[in-house]
Structure formats: structure tokens, C-alpha cells
Structure 1
Amino acid sequence: MSLRQYARDLGMGARFAVTGGREGWVRTALTAVGVGMGVALLLLTTALPGVVSARHAVENARTDYMFTPHPLPRGDDTLLLAATDTWWRAKPVRGRLLEPEGPKAPTPPGVGRFPAEGEMLVSPELGRLLASGDAKLLRERLPYRITGTIGAKGLLGPRELVYYAGTEGLKPGTPGARVERLRSFGDPHPEPEHTDPVLLMITLVSFVVLLMPVAVFIAAAVRFGGERRDRRLAALRLVGADSRTTRRIAAGEALTGSLIGLAVGAGLFLAGRQLAGSVTVMGESFYPAYLDPSPLLVLLVALAVPACAVLVTLLAMRGVVVEPLGVVRTAVPARRRLWWRLLLPVAGLALLYPMVGQGRSNGDFNQYLVVAGVLLLLVGVTSLLPWLVERAVARLDPGALSWQLAVRRLQLSSGTAARTVNGVAVAVAGAIALQMLFAGVQSAYVRDSGKDPARAQLEIDLSDHAQVGPAAAAVARTEGVRTSVGLATASLGAKPRDADVSFGFVMGDCAALRELAHLPSCRDGDTFALIDPESDPTYDPYRDALLRPGHTAYIDPSYADIRGLAVPITVPEHLRRVTSRKDPLMPSATGLLVTPAAFPKAAEPALLGQVFVRTDPAVPNAQEYVRNTAARVDPVSDIMAVRPTETSSRYASLRTGTLIGASCVLMLIGASLLVSQLEQLRERRRLLSALVAFGTRRRTLGLSVLWQSALPITLGLLLAAVVGVTLGAVLLRMSAAKVTVVWSDVLALTGVGAGVVLAVTLLTLPPLLRMTRPDGLRTE
């Protein structure tokens, strides 16, 4: 067979796709839409590494904290900068106070000139927010005149809230003040970031899990209208075409639909790219320019999708005998075999097994084995589901008329039903595995902060210990505040320099100290030794030696890389020991508790001031009022919401990215299922009209459509749960984590999959009613 003959047959298939009348156009359009949605998501996925890289580059370029052993001297090229980050309800606001010390001081990325004192530059989104009537409290917190906007080079996304304000009088080096002296922005010598093997494995698994349903939907989309196409090919056999020619013509039709789908997908991606700047997903926004796919990956998608279309069509044609007088599809259907279908998941487990128990301490995971193993396990779902549906529906008993119609349809075309829900099953299996993996390794990246949000909802770190009393009093008078507690802390060592062990030192009035420990009695001038019953017993001898009556300890001891004050303090002869509360405001407090009269004045510069705030939940904006008060008392104070846990930023970013990707895949699942269901109804329009003409009620047909969706999806979700739990258990064993199954999460994820199918099925009922009208029997 010559290449010319191949090209001629493929070209004939292409002409059938675009000039085959209304039926051919509709089939091609459905294929193009299905493939296009998959291609758009593939292009979005190939662009994600570029988004991460672009955001990381911006974040690195505007880095303004330097870990240097010695502070920079003042010069004409230095800048004083204070971090004044805050929150507006649930949105973070990045803020900086700028004070240039010379004409050559560096400007932040996206800033053309320094704002003068009392002025500020804002991001476009913050400017819109401040101009709105809803942000009155935030406007009070930022009492600066807006004189310009920050450029895109200094923002992570168009929806980010950022401001730079001009000020004077910043003092670097003050304990508690977040003030830096800079000569440039960005880290000039960034160290290579250590890659956590477990997080890298989660990243690989996430990409496979998110992309696999897309591939399944593309493979299903190229088979839209297969029954009508095969009947049309039978007419070609009647005029002399052989079976190989018909396969090549069918491949040409599929190839044309996939190429049009590529164009549709590119258009959808470009349209979505332009809209990216106007939406926020999981609190994150992106500039359209960030969504720039790698040319190599785009070329791979452009080649893989048409190749997949042709391959899937040729494989599907192997099970169909196209004869001159008709299509033999179900005369003597061959029973699907199980043995080779089981080989795929078994091979996937075999690839993953050598990495069981490796964890994060035995080097990186083999990326190729991880991808191949997970891929084979998920492909196993698509291979096992047709066999499972075929065997299950073959044993179903007759029942109501709607049930009989659904069961008979499934018995005649169980493969079509399985293809419809394959993508959902794969997505649910992958989601279950990822959920188990995230939950299993969470303890390594989410640690207990020891803080109780019921005791205090906000914590204010002040730049000056002398402001503790005034700040606590001002906050106590703020609307929506029930209690405010002011405390000041420092470190206490046994030696003035290079102390082997250091303990805490807390100063506060008696009411404040009672928030930390059980005090029998207290008056100004008292000192207490704080004993935590749950502390590490290995530190007890050091603590007892340090707090020995009459012994001299040192507040703020010096170290080789930190210059301290090393102010001596004598431990009182009659030191009373008190035990920590079970719910202290400062869980890390140890050592001495001191009232103000017993504290040496010389050590005051070493103190760090904190105010703990309990708010009234009945006041909606209580936390905003507190932030405004703290900003007035101390503009560079750091206000944090008290949370019971602290999460690794990289782990949180990966989890957020996975959720965003899963949301996109879920939308694709719903849209593709809707297109698939409509295509099936279109194929059966004449049959449905005939059933109505013979007296079948439309309600019965609607119920039969629901049953046809419910049975395969139930089987698919059961299979997905088994495969997902198995994959999740293997991934946890690879991570050296304890294998636990949260069945409520498994049920929730399977419920989401079932809900998507149910919603799509309900959306197809109105078209079903239109297609069952008598004019559906008309033919030409």
C-alpha cells in the first residue's frame, strides 16, 4: 500500500468529517468540543511550571530580609525598610515602610520612585479596595495619601494587595522591630533549595492524577458518533471499499476532529488566559503572561492528541465488522477477558514496590518508576471497568419498565457506558490516593503550635517593650475586645557569653502572669520560678542550677553571632516555684516570671513586647478594630491570628495547587460528561421517538436514563475506591508513613463523583424530552 493511497483514504475521511451533512458536522463538532476542552486543560497544565517559576522570580526579586552576621553600615546607597504586613478580613495585605538614606538607595521592583513621608504607592487591586465604601476600617489603618501604583514586576498577581509607604525615623536593630537596612532587593547569592523527596513525589503523583482523566476524556471524545460512522462505512463497503480502507477513512475522520479540537482547545486556552487576571482561585491570582506553556510541551500535546485519536479509532474498529449490508457489532459479542486487565495494576504495584519504606531519608524517589507505577494503576481502572460493567449487568434481574430499558441498553453496549464514566472513576481513584497521601504525611509538615485560639484570638508583637502597657490599655478600650494581656519576654542564661542552655524570662503584672501560671499570691516586686510538668526532664538539672537561690544569671546573654546585653540578675533567696497552666497564653514560657518592680532597668532594651487579645465573636469586625488600634500605637507591630497549628509553606502551596488543579479537572469532567450524554441521546433519538410513539411515557424514559448513568457510575466508584485506597496505601508506605484510611474522606470523594454524574444526567433530561417528540421519526 502506497503513501498516496493512505493519504487519499485519510483525506476522504477528512471530507466526510467536514462535508458529511448535518450529521457529520454535529459529530465533528462534538468531537472537537470534547477534545478541545481536554486540550485546553492540557495546555493549562503545561503552563503551570511557568506560573510557579514566574511567581518565584517575582518573590525572589522583592526579597527584603537578609540574614547577615553583621548589620550593614549606613551609606548613600542604603534603604531602611520595615515590614508592616496586615490582613483585611481573610485577605493578606503586604505592606512596607520605606526610608531611603541616600540618593542611590534601591527601589523595590515595580516602584519607579520613593513615596514621600505620608504618601504611599499601592497595587491596583488595593487602590480599588481602598476607594470602595466597604474598606473604611482598612483606610483608617493606612493613613497615607495614594500617589501612584505598583507595577506588575513587583506583584505576584493582579489581585494581590500590596503597598509601599514613605516614613522617617526607622531604627534598625531594635529587638521586635521588623526593620532592615538594604543595599539591594533580592538575594544576590540564593542557595539551592533542598528538595524534599516526599514533596517531590507528591508533585509527580499530582500531575499524573490530574492529567490522566484528561487523557481518558480525549480518548472517549474521538469516539463520539461511532455507531452512525460505522453505518456510513458500511455504505462504502457496498461500493467496493475493503475493510482496511474503511479503517483508514475512519482514522481520517477522527484525525480531522482531533485537529479541529486542537484549534478549539488552543482558542479556549487563550480565552481563559486573558480571563486569568480577573479571577482568583483559592486566594491566588495570576497575570496572563505567567500562563506561558513550554514550546516543547505544546509540541508534545499537538502531536500526542492526533496520534491518540487515530490509535483509539483503529483499536475500536478491531471489534467491529463493517460489511456491505450492515454493521456486525453485537451478534455474538466476545466476552471480555480479565487476565490481561489485571496485569496493568499488578505491573504498577511492581514498579512502586522497590521504593516502599524509602521515606525522605534515603534519597530521591525514582521519578520514572513513580510516574509509570501510578499511571499503570490508574490505567488499570479504565481496563477493569468495562469487564466489571459487562459482568454485573449480565446478571441483573428484570424489574420495572424503566429498569428493563436501562439494563437492556447496558447489556447491548456496556463498553459505551464504561467509557462514559471512566474519566470520573480515574479522577476519584486518584483523588482518594492523593487525599490519603496528604493526610498521612501531614504530621511532618503541620505541627502543633501549642496555642489555644479559645484563650486568645490575636497576638501583637510590638517593636518596643515600653509600649506593652499603653498598647494593652489601648487595645482593651477597643470595640469588640473582651481582654488584652501585655507581657514582655527575654532570654536568661547561666553565663554572660555562650551560655550552654538558656531559658525564658517573662515580665508582666500579676494579672498577666496569672495567664501563664497558678500563682498563690502576687504583688509587684515578686519573682517566680515557672515549672512545666510536661517539660523535657533532661533540662531539669540545668534549670535547677540556673534558678538556684543566690545564683547570678544573665538576661540576654551574648553569643558569637549575636551581641547581647548580658545584664546580671540575682535569683532571690526565697524563690517561689509555680506550675504552668494547662492552657497558658505562652506555651513556650519557662524560667523566671518577674513583676515590673523586680526587673533591672538596664535589661529593658532586651525585652520583646507582646499583647494577647481576646475578642467578642458577636462583633463582626472586632479583629479589624484591634489591627487599627495596634497600627496607631505601633505602626511596625506584627499582628497574627492565633492558630492551633503551623503549616509548612511548601506543603501548603502544593496542597493549594493540587486543589486548584482538581477544581479544573472537575469542571472538565462535568462539561465532558454533558457533551458525551448529549451525543448518546442524539445517537438514540429515533429509537426514543419510536418508544414514545408506541406509548412509552416520557417519565419512564427519563428514569431509564438515570438508571443507565447510576449503574455504571456505582460500579466505577466502587472500583475507584478500591484502586484509590490501594494506591494511597502504597504511596504512604513509600513515604514511610503510617497507613491510615479516613473512610469519611473516601465517601466524600466518591459522593462528589456521583454528584457530578447525577447533575449532568439531570441536565440532559430537557434535551431528552425534546428528542422524544414525534418529529424525531422523520427521515430523508
Structure 2
Amino acid sequence: MSMRQGAADLMLGVRFAFTGGREGWTRAVLTAVGVGLGVALLLLTTAVPNALAARHDREAARSDVTFATDPMPKADDTLVIADVDEDFRDDEVRGRALEPEGPRAPLPPGVEKFPAVGEMVVSPALKELLDSGSGALLRERLPDRIVGTIAEEGLIGSAELAYYRGAEGLAEHLTAGRIERIDRFGDPMPAEEQSDPVLLLLVLVVFVVLLMPVAVFIAAAVRFGGERRDRRLAALRLVGSDRRMTRRIAAGEALAGAVLGLVFGVGFFLVGRQLAGNAEVFRISVFPSYLDPSPLLALLVAVAVPAAAVLVTLFALRGVVIEPLGVVRSGRPARRRLWWRLLLPLAGLAMLYPMIGNGRDNGDFNQYLVTGGVVLLLVGVTALLPWVVESVVARLGSGGVAWQLAVRRLQLSSGTAARMVNGIAVAVAGAIALQMLFAGVDDDYTRSTGQDVSRVQMEAQLPSGIPIGPAAEKFRGTKGVEAVYAFSEGYLGDRAHDPEHGSTITVGDCASLREVARLPSCADGDVFAVHGAEWDMGEDMTKLAAPGRKLYVDPSYEGGPEHPETAWTVPRNIRAAKPGPELVGGIDTGGFLLTPKAVPDALRPALDGHAYLKVDASVPDVHDLVRNTTTSIDPLADTVTWAATERTDRFDAIRTGLFVGAACVLALIGASLLVSQLEQLRERKKLLSALVAFGTRRRTLSLSVLWQTAIPIVLGLLLACAVGLTLGTVLLKMTGTPVRVDWTGVLSMTGIGAAVVLTVTLCSLPPLLRLMRPEGLRTE
């Protein structure tokens, strides 16, 4: 056979796909839609690295942290900027207060001119929120007049809530990290993240698990309408074509559908790209311009999809005998062999086995072995499922009419039923393994904050010089606040500059001080020294708290800003106290405890205010009511919501990426399954019409369709659980983590997979009822 003849056969198949009447067009379009959905998701996946890089670059370009120990001197090109981030319900609001100090002060990216005092520029998403009724509480906190919006280059995502407001007097409160003087925007010290082998393993497995179901669906989509296609090929054999020629013609039809699917996929991708600009998934949003696929990866998709379509079609026809008088497929097929299907998962385990026990101390995991091993294990699901379905349905016995119709259909075409379920089985198997891996290593990336959330749920941090007493009263008057423990805090040293010894000073009323120390008795005017506190480990509090000793508040250190000397003399009536229950950060409070009347006026400006609040979570928006009170006390005050634990940012980012990707894959699974189900019903239109014409009840046929879906799904999910648990166990052993099964996660992943299929099945019932009419027997 010449290459010219082979190309001519392929082109003949392409012509059949587009000129074969309504039947050919319908099959081509169904194939194109299925392939197109997969291609669109592949293109979106190839665009993810660029989107993440774009978000990182935008974040770095607007960075306003200098990491300098000494404040920058004032000049005509400097800007004082304050971090005034907010939280509103469960959303973060990025806020900055700006005070330009000269005509050449740098403008933030995306801002055309500085807002004046009492004005602010906001992101489009924040403007929409503030203009709506749901943003009323936040609007109370931001009374400034909106004079403009932040352009795209100043935001990391379309749904980001951000604002810049005008301010004055910021230079009087310069503090590193919170209020700084800068002469340009941008990250001066880009951090190089340390490589964590376990996190890299998570990233690799996440990408493989998310992309495998897509590949499986594309492979299934190119086989839509296979039975009708084979009958057309039998007609070609009747007019003289040989077996090889018919296979090449079939490959040409699949190639046409795949190429059309690429066109559809590009269209779906462009639509999805635009929709992404209006969507936020797990608090992650992007601009459409971020989603630019890598040209090399896009080219790989464009080549791989048509090539896979041809190979899958040729592979599918290897066991089909197409003769001039028909297709030998309805006869009893040869039983599927098990041995070679087991080789795939076993080979995957063999690739992963050398890395068992590596943990994070023996370098990075071999990315090729990890990728290959996980792929082979998940491909093993697609290889084993047809054998499992065939073996089980062959043993199913008698039952009702609906059951018998379903079982007989499955016995005749178990391969088709398995193909429909393959994608969901692969997705569930991968999800179970990832759930086990994330649950297993979660403790390594989660640490306790030491905060006692049973006593305190929120903390308000007030700038120095703000009287804590009136502030505490405002908090007590806030709806939902049950208790307020208010303190003014600072640091005492034995010298005004570079002290060798020192400890903390805490000012509060007796009720508040009893929350952090054991006091013998207390009255306003008392002073205490806490002995034996963990905070003062290594300090001799007896010597430091000697009556008459002079100590200095807020001492300065070498390389840091100079502070005015403010001395305090330890009073003669100082009394001893013992450490009390831990309130902040898991460390008991030590140092000196003073009641308000014992504090000299000279000390008050050097102390920062902290109010620890116990709130009633049942009060609607209680956290935002507290934040509004904090802002009313001082615009530069900050509010923190306490949590018992916190996770590593990168671990959270990978987990969020998994959830976003899983949502997209589930959407693809649902859409592709629906297309596949409709195609199956279309092929059986005449059979269904004949059964109805002979008196079969529609309810019976509907139940038979449900059984045909339910049996393979149950088998597929059981196989997915077995493979997922195996893969999860191996991955946990690779990371050196004790193996434990998160049964809640396993059952939830399995339930989600089953729910997707049941939803698709229910959506296909209306078309099924329309097909079950005797008129469907009419033909031309």
C-alpha cells in the first residue's frame, strides 16, 4: 500500500463524516462536542501556569514592603503608605492608605492619580459590593467618596476586593511592615521559595489526577456512533474495499470528528476564558488575559488529539470483523483476558516502589517515575473496568422485565457501558488517593497558634497613644460582644539603647489582669511583677523588679529607629504574682502588670493597645460589627480573628488549586456523560420505538435505562475505591507518613461521582421519553 493510497482512504473517511447525510453530520458533531469539551479543559490547564505567574507578577509589581531597618528619608519622590487591610465576612479586602510627600511620589499600579483625604479609588468588584445592599456594613467602615476604579494592571484578579484611600499624618507612625516610606512599587527582595519534596509530589499528582479523566473522555468521545459506523463500513466491504481500507476510512471519520472537535474546543476555550473573568472559584479569580496557553503545550494538544483519535479507532476495530454482509459483533464475543490488564497497575506500583520511604529528607521525588506510576495505575482502572463489568453481568440472573432488558443489553455491549463509566472511575480513584495524601500530610503543614479560641475569638490592635479605656467601652457597647479584656502593652529594658535585660509591661484593669496572671489581690493603683513565667525564661525577675530600679520603655536597638528616652522607676509597693492561663500565642504573660492608676502619663504614648474580645457567634455579622467599631476608634487600628490552627500558604494554595481543577473536571464529566448518553439513546431509537410499539411500558424502558447506568457505575466506583486506596497508601508510604484511611473523604468522593452520574441520567430521561414513540419506526 502506498502512502498516497492510505492518505486517499483517510480523506474518504473525512468526506463520509461530512457528506454522509444527517447521520454522518450528527455523529461528527457529537464527537466534536465531546472532544471539544476535553480540548477546552486541556487548553485551560495549559494556561494555568501562565495565570499563576501573571498573578504573582501583578502581586510583586504592587509590593510596598521595603524590608529596611531604617526609614527612608523624606524626599519629593517618596510616598508614605499604610497597610489597612480589611476582612468582610469571609472575604479579604486589600486596603492601602496613601500620603504622597512630593510631586514625584510613585503611583500604585492601576491608579491614575492620588486620592485626596476623604477619597478612595476601588476595584470594580469592591465598587459593585459597596453599591449593593450586602456591602452596607463594609460601607460604614469606608466612608470615603469613591473617585475612580483601579485598572487591571493593579489587581491580581477580577473579583479582588481592593482600595486605595487618601490619608495624612502617616509619617508620624512609621513602623516597618505596617506603615512605610517608599520611592517605588515592586518587590525589592523577591523570595526564592525552598523546595519541599512533598509539596512537589502533591503538585505532580494533582496535575496527573486532573488530566487523566480528560484524556479518558476524549478517547471515549471519538468512538461515538461506533455501531452505526461499522454498519456503513460493511456496505463499503460489499462494494469492494478490503479490511485494511475500511479501517483507514474509519480512522478518517474519527480524524474528521477530532479536528472539528479541536475547532469546537478552541471556541469553548474562548468562551470559558471570557466567563473566567466573571467567576471566582474558591476565592481565586483571574482576568481573561491571564489565560494564555503555552504555545508549545497548545501545539502538543493540537497534534496529540487527532493522533489519539486515529489510534483509538484502529485499536477499537481490532476485534471487530467487518464483512460485506454485516458486522460480526452481535455474536458471542471472546472473553476479555485479565493478565495483561493487571500488568498496567502492577507496572505503576513497580515505578513508585523505589521511592517508598523517601519522605522529605532524601531529595525530590523522581517526577518521571511519579508521573508514569500514577498514570499507569489510573489507566489500569480503564483496562480493568471492561473485564469487571463483563465478568459480573455475565453472571447476573433473572429479574423483572426492566432488569432483564438492562442485563441483556449490558451482556451484549459491556464495553460501551464501561467506556461511559471509565472517566468517572478514574476521577474518583484519583480523588480518593489525593484525599488520603492531603489528609495524611495535613498535620505537617498545620500548626497550632496557641490561641485559646474558647476564651477569645477576636483581637483589636490599636496604635500607640490610643487610650485603651474608652476603646474598651466602645467594644463593650458593640452588639454581640460578651466580654472585653483590654491591655496596653510595651517593652521595658534596663537601658534606653541596646538593653541587655528586659521584659514586657502590661496595663489593664484588675478583671483583665486576672485573665493572664494569678494575683494575690488587686485594686486600681497596684503594680505586680510576674515570677516564673515562660516568657521571661533566663531573666532574673527578682533583680529586674527591684524597687527603685530605673527601666526604659520602648528601648531602641542598633540599626533600628531611635526612640525618645522614657524612664520608669519600679515602685516600692510592687507585689509578686504568678503566671496565669495562657491567652496569646501559647505563651504565658510575664514581666510587669500595672493597673491604670499606676501608669505615669509619660508612659502612655509608648504603649500599644490590645483588646481581646469574646463574641457571640450567633449574632449576625458580629465580626464585621467589631471591625466597624475598631475602625471608628482609629482608622489605622487592625482587627484579627483568632483561629486554633493555621496552614502553610503553599499547602493551602495547592489544595485550593485541586478544588478549582476538580470543579472544572466534574463539569466536564457531567457534560461529556450527557453527550455520551444522548448518543447512546440516539443509536437505540428504532429499538426503543419497536419495544413501545409491541406494548412495552415506558416506565419499564426508563427503569431499564437506569439499571444500565447504575450497574456499571456501582462496579466502576468499587474498582475506583480499590485503586484509589492502593494509590493513596503508596503515596503516603512515599512521604514517610503513617497510613490511615479518611473514610469520610473516600465516601464523599464516591458519593460525588455517583451524584454526577445520577444527575446526568435524570437529565437524559426527557429525551428518552421523546424517543419512545412508535413513530420512531418511520424511515426513508
One-letter amino acid of the counterpart of residue 689, structure 2: S
Matched, 1:222 2:219: no
Could you tell me whether the CA contact under 8 Å between 2:579 and 2:590 is conserved in 1? no
One-letter amino acid of the counterpart of residue 735, structure 1: T
User: Paired residue for 2:426?
Assistant: 426
Matched, 1:524 2:524: yes
User: Paired residue for 1:772?
Assistant: 772
Q: CA deviation at 1:313?
A: 0.1
User: Paired residue for 1:676?
Assistant: 676
Distance in 2 of aligned mates of 1:531 and 1:246? 92
User: Paired residue for 1:650?
Assistant: 650
Q: CA deviation at 1:481?
A: 2.7
User: Paired residue for 1:93?
Assistant: 93
After superposition, the Cα gap between the structure-2 partners of 1:117 and 1:497, relative to the gap in structure 1 and judged at 3 Å, is: closer
After superposition, the Cα gap between the structure-2 partners of 1:544 and 1:475, relative to the gap in structure 1 and judged at 3 Å, is: closer
Distance in 1 of aligned mates of 2:315 and 2:542? 80
Number of aligned residues? 776
User: Paired residue for 1:639?
Assistant: 639
Distance in 2 of aligned mates of 1:465 and 1:363? 51
One-letter amino acid of the counterpart of residue 92, structure 1: E
Distance in 2 of aligned mates of 1:730 and 1:185? 46
Q: CA deviation at 1:323?
A: 0.6
Matched, 1:661 2:650: no
One-letter amino acid of the counterpart of residue 721, structure 2: A
SS of equivalent residue, structure 1 residue 93? strand
One-letter amino acid of the counterpart of residue 114, structure 1: F
Offset from partner CA, 1:46-97 (integer Å, 9 cap, x none): 1111110111011000111121132211111111011111122222211111
Q: CA deviation at 1:711?
A: 1.1
User: Paired residue for 1:303?
Assistant: 303
Q: CA deviation at 1:488?
A: 2.5
User: Paired residue for 1:455?
Assistant: 455
Worse-matched range after superposition: 586-595 or 563-572: 563-572
* Alignment map for 1:599-748 (pairs within 5 Å): 599=599, 604=604, 606-748=606-748
One-letter amino acid of the counterpart of residue 303, structure 1: V
Could you tell me whether the CA contact under 8 Å between 2:449 and 2:585 is conserved in 1? no
User: Paired residue for 1:417?
Assistant: 417
Q: CA deviation at 1:411?
A: 1.3
User: Paired residue for 1:445?
Assistant: 445
After superposition, the Cα gap between the structure-2 partners of 1:574 and 1:152, relative to the gap in structure 1 and judged at 3 Å, is: closer
Distance in 1 of aligned mates of 2:231 and 2:499? 88
Worse-matched range after superposition: 482-491 or 675-684: 482-491
Could you tell me whether the CA contact under 8 Å between 1:493 and 1:546 is conserved in 2? no
One-letter amino acid of the counterpart of residue 637, structure 2: S
Gaps of 5+ in 1: none
User: Paired residue for 2:212?
Assistant: 212
Offset from partner CA, 1:383-410 (integer Å, 9 cap, x none): 1111111111122222222111111111
Could you tell me whether the CA contact under 8 Å between 1:543 and 1:591 is conserved in 2? no
Q: Percent identity?
A: 60
Q: CA deviation at 1:10?
A: 0.7
SS of equivalent residue, structure 1 residue 461? strand
User: Paired residue for 1:578?
Assistant: 578
Distance in 1 of aligned mates of 2:448 and 2:76? 45
Distance in 1 of aligned mates of 2:640 and 2:574? 38
User: Paired residue for 1:360?
Assistant: 360
Distance in 2 of aligned mates of 1:665 and 1:678? 20
Distance in 1 of aligned mates of 2:526 and 2:655? 49
Distance in 1 of aligned mates of 2:414 and 2:390? 6
Distance in 2 of aligned mates of 1:177 and 1:65? 6
User: Paired residue for 2:61?
Assistant: 61
User: Paired residue for 1:136?
Assistant: 136
Distance in 2 of aligned mates of 1:711 and 1:20? 35
SS of equivalent residue, structure 1 residue 171? helix
Q: CA deviation at 1:164?
A: 0.8
Distance in 2 of aligned mates of 1:235 and 1:532? 95
TM-score, scaled relative to structure 1: 0.94
One-letter amino acid of the counterpart of residue 363, structure 1: G
One-letter amino acid of the counterpart of residue 719, structure 1: L
User: Paired residue for 2:105?
Assistant: 105
User: Paired residue for 2:511?
Assistant: 511
Distance in 2 of aligned mates of 1:549 and 1:626? 40
After superposition, the Cα gap between the structure-2 partners of 1:477 and 1:727, relative to the gap in structure 1 and judged at 3 Å, is: same
* Alignment map for 1:247-396 (pairs within 5 Å): 247-396=247-396
Distance in 1 of aligned mates of 2:709 and 2:107? 61
One-letter amino acid of the counterpart of residue 631, structure 1: T
One-letter amino acid of the counterpart of residue 45, structure 2: T
After superposition, the Cα gap between the structure-2 partners of 1:522 and 1:696, relative to the gap in structure 1 and judged at 3 Å, is: same
SS of equivalent residue, structure 1 residue 148? strand
Distance in 2 of aligned mates of 1:133 and 1:561? 49
Offset from partner CA, 1:214-270 (integer Å, 9 cap, x none): 000000000000000001100100111000000000000000000001100100110
Matched, 1:118 2:118: yes
Worse-matched range after superposition: 16-25 or 356-365: 356-365
> What's the RMSD between the two structures over aligned residues?
2.5
User: Paired residue for 1:188?
Assistant: 188
SS of equivalent residue, structure 2 residue 460? strand
One-letter amino acid of the counterpart of residue 751, structure 2: G
Distance in 2 of aligned mates of 1:140 and 1:100? 25
SS of equivalent residue, structure 1 residue 278? coil
Offset from partner CA, 1:653-675 (integer Å, 9 cap, x none): 22111101100100111111111
Could you tell me whether the CA contact under 8 Å between 1:277 and 1:287 is conserved in 2? yes
Distance in 2 of aligned mates of 1:601 and 1:339? 86
Q: CA deviation at 1:332?
A: 3.9
One-letter amino acid of the counterpart of residue 250, structure 2: A
One-letter amino acid of the counterpart of residue 14, structure 2: A
Offset from partner CA, 1:683-738 (integer Å, 9 cap, x none): 11222222222222211111111111111111111111111111112222222222
One-letter amino acid of the counterpart of residue 11, structure 1: M
Q: CA deviation at 1:451?
A: 2.1
TM-score, scaled relative to structure 2: 0.94
Distance in 2 of aligned mates of 1:493 and 1:716? 69
SS of equivalent residue, structure 2 residue 49? helix
Q: CA deviation at 1:561?
A: 4.6
Worse-matched range after superposition: 478-487 or 34-43: 478-487
Could you tell me whether the CA contact under 8 Å between 1:222 and 1:258 is conserved in 2? yes
Distance in 2 of aligned mates of 1:124 and 1:444? 38
SS of equivalent residue, structure 1 residue 66? coil
After superposition, the Cα gap between the structure-2 partners of 1:775 and 1:75, relative to the gap in structure 1 and judged at 3 Å, is: same
SS of equivalent residue, structure 2 residue 277? helix
SS of equivalent residue, structure 2 residue 237? helix
Could you tell me whether the CA contact under 8 Å between 2:529 and 2:541 is conserved in 1? no
Q: CA deviation at 1:183?
A: 1.2
Distance in 2 of aligned mates of 1:356 and 1:568? 61
One-letter amino acid of the counterpart of residue 223, structure 1: R
One-letter amino acid of the counterpart of residue 291, structure 2: L
Distance in 2 of aligned mates of 1:729 and 1:58? 39
After superposition, the Cα gap between the structure-2 partners of 1:177 and 1:45, relative to the gap in structure 1 and judged at 3 Å, is: closer
Matched, 1:34 2:34: yes
One-letter amino acid of the counterpart of residue 654, structure 2: L
One-letter amino acid of the counterpart of residue 186, structure 1: G
Distance in 1 of aligned mates of 2:38 and 2:77? 52
One-letter amino acid of the counterpart of residue 591, structure 1: G
SS of equivalent residue, structure 2 residue 484? strand
Q: CA deviation at 1:154?
A: 0.4
After superposition, the Cα gap between the structure-2 partners of 1:317 and 1:168, relative to the gap in structure 1 and judged at 3 Å, is: same
Distance in 2 of aligned mates of 1:732 and 1:605? 54
One-letter amino acid of the counterpart of residue 632, structure 2: R
Offset from partner CA, 1:413-432 (integer Å, 9 cap, x none): 11111111000000001111
User: Paired residue for 2:436?
Assistant: 436
Distance in 2 of aligned mates of 1:529 and 1:656? 47
Distance in 1 of aligned mates of 2:483 and 2:351? 59
Could you tell me whether the CA contact under 8 Å between 1:553 and 1:569 is conserved in 2? yes
Distance in 2 of aligned mates of 1:695 and 1:553? 100
Could you tell me whether the CA contact under 8 Å between 1:77 and 1:102 is conserved in 2? yes
Could you tell me whether the CA contact under 8 Å between 2:36 and 2:262 is conserved in 1? yes
User: Paired residue for 2:488?
Assistant: 488
Distance in 2 of aligned mates of 1:287 and 1:56? 13
Could you tell me whether the CA contact under 8 Å between 1:176 and 1:464 is conserved in 2? no
Distance in 1 of aligned mates of 2:354 and 2:557? 47
User: Paired residue for 1:591?
Assistant: 590
User: Paired residue for 1:74?
Assistant: 74
Distance in 2 of aligned mates of 1:444 and 1:531? 35
Distance in 2 of aligned mates of 1:693 and 1:33? 32
